[in-house]
Amino acid sequence: MNGEFSEEEKNGFYKAIFSRRDVRAHFTAEPIDDRTLSKILNAAHHAPSVGFSQPWNFILIKDIEARKKIKSSFDAERKRSSELVEDPKRTKYLSFKLEGILDSAVNICVTYDPSKFGPFVIGKSSIPETGIYSVCCAIQNLWLAARAEGIGMGWVSILSNDDLKKVLEIPEHVIPVAYLCLGYVSEFAQKPDLETSGWLSRLDLKDVVFYEKWNKNNDPSWQTIHQMIVSNLDYA
Amino acid sequence: MNGEFSEEEKNGFYKAIFSRRDVRAHFTAEPIDDRTLSKILNAAHHAPSVGFSQPWNFILIKDIEARKKIKSSFDAERKRSSELVEDPKRTKYLSFKLEGILDSAVNICVTYDPSKFGPFVIGKSSIPETGIYSVCCAIQNLWLAARAEGIGMGWVSILSNDDLKKVLEIPEHVIPVAYLCLGYVSEFAQKPDLETSGWLSRLDLKDVVFYEKWNKNNDPSWQTIHQMIVSNLDYA
């Protein structure tokens, strides 16, 4: 079979998967060089897309005035959402640093254009949401490529999409999918911040895998893998 | 900075990104060993998720009767969607092999459970769709890990989610996000099938990157990267 991976190549791949973090702090002032940024964008552009529709766009943002407006949107939404939860969770929530809009080198807004190569896109007529799912795959490629290049990335989802569309002049039919902050960092955390702070724990793999049907935790034809997952072998 | 990547590790990472394919043919009869499947699932489970909510489940499917029912759903949806397009596109569309439901080793249905760790999930109250976006990131991790392990994967989106929910006994509030077919393959295609067949071309990177605002193809503060992208340097 063509394209086998050497052990070291596999290690490099899994290193990106397991050491990728959602980064909100530790950004340094170092700018991202253009070649590295191009590589990361190119990795995103090579994501899978339904019917090869490539329905993504990447808006690169450095302008400080635009970023300040988006930071205001974050502040308003953070306050609003904090009112949905009671203390002591509220105080804990408000203590987290949840964005790096102004302190990262570059912001990127990733958008979904449902009209691209339409109206007939192969594979999109039964489940139209597959268009936006493709954009998410591109975002994950971008995130992992950033990590491989030593660049931290954080996804800011405490935002108003209406504000984003206004500031970035995004047309009515286009959907902002993600607002990302990228920059070199002084360190990558060993674990997700929300795990370290005790907000939530990582689930065991066995808790998210079912066999043959929803909620079926065991099955005769899946005994070996079930044992392997339950005993928590080091399959990483 | 901790966790720098060696050149070979980076190469391994980018190899997965650029050689990953949406696979519908070339599946061999070789079963996927349990350890490898566990590794792939574990990579998926280490995707980012909004508020660390880990809202995904993976239903592993080998049962042939269930797969036949899902294949019937594909057949019906394929016929239905072919009626949305005129000849010569219709004939071309119907000539494509678009699924490997019965000829792959394992099928995996990836689902989204919006209730997990709710109702208050950090970062999900402004844009609730970020829950399903997290599941898509997990799918992309799974896809890339499969590729690194020499396993082909195809995403079948010509399906009725109602049929899927019925066959797999998925509860009302849970959303099937992807139906995936995985197996070892005799080869990975050099390019996407829809590119090779002339259905669509890959866009240039310059066509999907904007600067500061939607649709702005150039900007004084982005001159260097713009030139680099336009001249199509080998940044891969």
Residue A225 shares a structural domain with residue A116: no
Tokens of A51: 């019917």
Residue B230 shares a structural domain with residue B117: no
- E strands within chain B? 56-61, 106-112, 151-155, 175-184, 209-211
Residue that the structure tokens 């959602």 belong to: A22
Residue burial B12-34, b: 16+ Cβ < 10 Å; e: rest: bbbbbbebbbbbbbbbeeeebeb
Tokens of A92: 């804990």
Residue A220 shares a structural domain with residue A192: no
Residue B174 shares a structural domain with residue B204: no
**What total of structural domains would you count in chain A?**
2
Contact B14 A43 (CB under 8 A): yes
Residue B213 shares a structural domain with residue B151: no
CA-based radius of gyration for chain B: 20
ipTM of the complex in this document: 0.97
Which residues is B33 bridged to in the sheet? Answer: none
* Closest CA–CA distance from residue B128 to any residue of chain A (Å): 9
Residue burial A112-139, b: 16+ Cβ < 10 Å; e: rest: bbbebbeebbbbbbbbebbbbbbbbbbb
Closest in A37, A54, A139 to B208, CB measured: A54
Domain that holds residue B206: 200-236
**pTM for this predicted structure:** 0.97
Residue B155 shares a structural domain with residue B235: no
Residue B132 shares a structural domain with residue B96: yes
Percentage above 90 pLDDT, chain B: 94
pLDDT by residue for chain A (236 residues), tens digit each? 557 999 999 999 999 999 999 999 999 999 999 999 999 999 999 999 999 999 999 999 999 999 999 999 999 999 999 999 999 999 999 999 999 999 999 999 999 999 999 899 999 999 999 999 999 999 999 999 999 999 999 999 999 999 999 999 999 999 999 999 999 999 999 999 999 999 999 999 999 999 999 999 999 999 999 999 998 766 65
From CA A107, how far away is CA B218, in angstroms rounded? 16
User: For A142, which residue in chain B has the nearest alpha carbon?
Assistant: B17
Question: What is the pLDDT of chain B when averaged over all its residues?
Answer: 95
What local confidence, expressed as pLDDT, does residue B1 receive? Answer: 54
Residue B49 shares a structural domain with residue B104: yes
> β-strand A106-112 against A175-184: which pairing, if any?
antiparallel
Residue A152 shares a structural domain with residue A228: no
Does A79 map to a domain? yes
From CA B180, how far away is CA A187, in angstroms rounded? 36
* Closest CA–CA distance from residue B98 to any residue of chain A (Å): 9
From CA B42, how far away is CA B141, in angstroms rounded? 9
Residue that the structure tokens 């792959």 belong to: B104
Closest in A10, A117, A192 to B148, CB measured: A10
Q: Count of A–B CB contacts within 8 Å?
A: 351
Identify which of A8, A208, A149, A83 has the alpha carbon closest to the alpha carbon of residue B116: A208
Query: Is the CB of B106 inside 8 Å of chain A's CB atoms?
Result: no
Does A6 map to a domain? no
Residue B98 shares a structural domain with residue B135: yes
From CA B226, how far away is CA B236, in angstroms rounded? 16
B77-113: per-residue pLDDT in tens? 999 999 999 999 999 999 999 999 999 999 999 999 9
Distance of CA A193 to the CA centre of its chain: 15
B122 within 8 A of B48, measured Cβ to Cβ: no
- Supply angle C-alpha A119, A125, A131, rounded to 5: 75
A122 within 8 A of A179, measured Cβ to Cβ: no
Q: Which helix (H) or strand (E) holds B122?
A: none
Interface of A with B in 176-215 (CB under 8 A): 177-178, 184-188, 192, 194-195, 199-200, 202-203, 205, 208-215
